[in-house]
Amino acid sequence: MRYKTFLIPAFIAFLLASFYIVKSPGVIESDAKEYDDLAISILDGKFELAGEVSMEREPAYPLFRAILKIIKDSPGFILWVQAIIYFFSIFLIGLTMSKIDPEKGHFAAWGAALAYGLAFYPSVHISETLVAFLLALIGYNLMEGIEKHSWVYFVNIAIFSSFLLLTRYTYILVPIAAFFILLKYTKEKLKVYMGFLIILCLVTPWVVRNYKQFGEFNMAGRSGGILYARALRADASWRSLGDSYLSALVGRGILFTIYPNNQSIWLEQWGDWWRDKETIREMWGEGRIEIDRNRKEAAFDIIFKDFNTFAKFVAWTGVDELRLLQLPNPIFQAGGSPIEGTYGVEAQNTNLSGLKLGALGITHLIQLIWFIVVIFSTWIGFKKYGLKFLPGIFLICVLLPHSIADNIARYGAPLQPWLLSGIFMTLLYPLKTHVFKRHNTSLQ
């Protein structure tokens, strides 16, 4: 295998990430501030937010930041390190896809390199870049393990999977799928079971710590919040659900222009989080864990209060899965926000210009094509490559746990280079081959 052939697309991806770092370096606020505060507390031998012991966030990304702070305590330094590991993520995806199909692997690597939806994230102080890197490491070691049956790759999968779960626990099906695939393609059953044991050994101490300190048998204390946000929307009308499907498909700008009285729900359900601290305390309690626990109980009360609400809760899955796979706005001023929200507020308050409406029309047509080709390439990939088609495997592993939650595009961003590599491999490569064949035939 010519490793050098994957360096160029990886370098192009690095340049794309560098553009965002130079033009729009992320500020440390909101979620980023929590990650940074946790990293600082780790250096003090603690895991605290606002002076309180925390399980609000998974520990791996704050630990990653803490290690980098020891080397050089600079926000810019962290972003450039993220750009470097993004480079290696694309490189590893190229290598992995070449093992799935040696003929098309290099072409697939170019697809991964063009995933601008992930290229933005090295420029911000959140965990998506690390999640993507760990996913790439798991994918590469999985294909190596199938090919070489060496215990080294089985152990690597277990270690990287443990860090993945300690970075984003909703990716829990990824290691489960990886080891089931190994059981199918290798005879090294004992090594597979050893991998599961390693994951348990690495992850369990953190879960036990959370249970002892907070009474929560969980990786992080945010599950109640995202479940409650979904429950709030399920408690709205069926019309709101239908209008929200329209919002996810055609965007807020177009929707409010052609249908100004729509009742779509986008971020409105998060209003409960933006109240003043005193009101939140009266509604939900004192500490973050107590608040999350109470929101979880309130969510279940809403979801199961009657069949009609439960049916809407299930039906909202389609909206949230679309939002998980949405493309972000490519303009760096947008800060990684999804295309759906573009010009939405402006369209609510005034009329959009013809130019903006035209741009939105083209943009959302591209996104609709994106949704279609993701589904089509996944179907072709499984048909041709079976369970070795990792873009499809990772897609399903991420979609399923997020099916009951309120989703935002950044949770699905680590999938984008895999999905684009799969599209390039299954759809664009055959198209390219067909076009060249017809061109050569016409010349003859």
Q: Does residue 143 sit in the same domain as residue 245?
A: no
Q: Does residue 325 sit in the same domain as residue 191?
A: no
Partnered with residue 49 across adjacent β-strands are: 52
> Among 366, 399, 432, where does a domain finish?
366
Q: Give residue 80's identity as a one-letter amino acid code.
A: W
Do the beta carbons of residue 121 and residue 52 sit within 8 Å? no
Neighbours of 233 (CB within 10 A): 21
Tell whether 291 is covered by a domain: yes
Tell whether 160 is covered by a domain: yes
Q: Does residue 215 sit in the same domain as residue 228?
A: no
Question: How far is the C-alpha of 198 from the C-alpha of 141, rounded, in Å?
Answer: 15
Q: Which distant-in-sequence residues (6+ apart) come within 8 Å of 70 by Cβ?
A: 43
Tell whether 118 is covered by a domain: yes
Q: Does residue 274 sit in the same domain as residue 346?
A: yes
Q: Does residue 348 sit in the same domain as residue 286?
A: yes
Q: What is the pLDDT of residue 268?
A: 84
Tell whether 437 is covered by a domain: yes
Predicted TM-score (pTM) of the model is: 0.93
Tell whether 393 is covered by a domain: no
Do the beta carbons of residue 407 and residue 321 sit within 8 Å? yes
* Residue-number span of the structural domain to which 234 is assigned: 223-366
> Among 311, 332, 366, where does a domain finish?
366
Q: Which segments within 273-392 are labelled E, that is strand?
A: none
C-alpha distances in Å from residue 31, one per residue of 38, 54, 296: 11, 14, 20
Count of domains observed in the chain: 2
Tell whether 280 is covered by a domain: yes
Helix (DSSP H) and strand (DSSP E) numbers for the chain: 22, 2
Q: Does residue 63 sit in the same domain as residue 162?
A: yes
Q: Does residue 228 sit in the same domain as residue 355?
A: yes
Q: Does residue 114 sit in the same domain as residue 211?
A: yes
Q: What would the two tokens of residue 71 be?
A: 């080397």
Question: How far is the C-alpha of 329 from the C-alpha of 123, rounded, in Å?
Answer: 15
Q: Does residue 286 sit in the same domain as residue 213?
A: no
Local confidence pLDDT in tens for the 444 residues of the chain: 567 889 999 999 999 999 999 988 888 988 899 999 999 999 999 998 888 888 889 999 999 999 999 999 999 999 999 999 999 999 999 999 999 999 999 999 999 999 988 999 999 999 999 999 999 999 999 999 998 888 899 999 999 999 999 999 999 999 999 999 998 888 778 878 888 899 989 999 999 999 998 888 888 878 888 899 999 999 999 999 999 999 999 999 999 999 999 999 988 888 877 777 888 888 888 888 888 899 999 999 999 999 999 999 999 999 999 999 998 877 766 666 788 988 888 998 888 899 989 999 999 999 999 999 999 999 999 999 999 999 999 999 999 999 988 888 889 999 999 999 999 999 988 876 656 555 555 555
Tell whether 388 is covered by a domain: no
Q: Does residue 205 sit in the same domain as residue 228?
A: no
Tell whether 313 is covered by a domain: yes
Q: Does residue 45 sit in the same domain as residue 188?
A: yes
Q: Does residue 173 sit in the same domain as residue 252?
A: no
Q: What is the pLDDT of residue 442?
A: 56
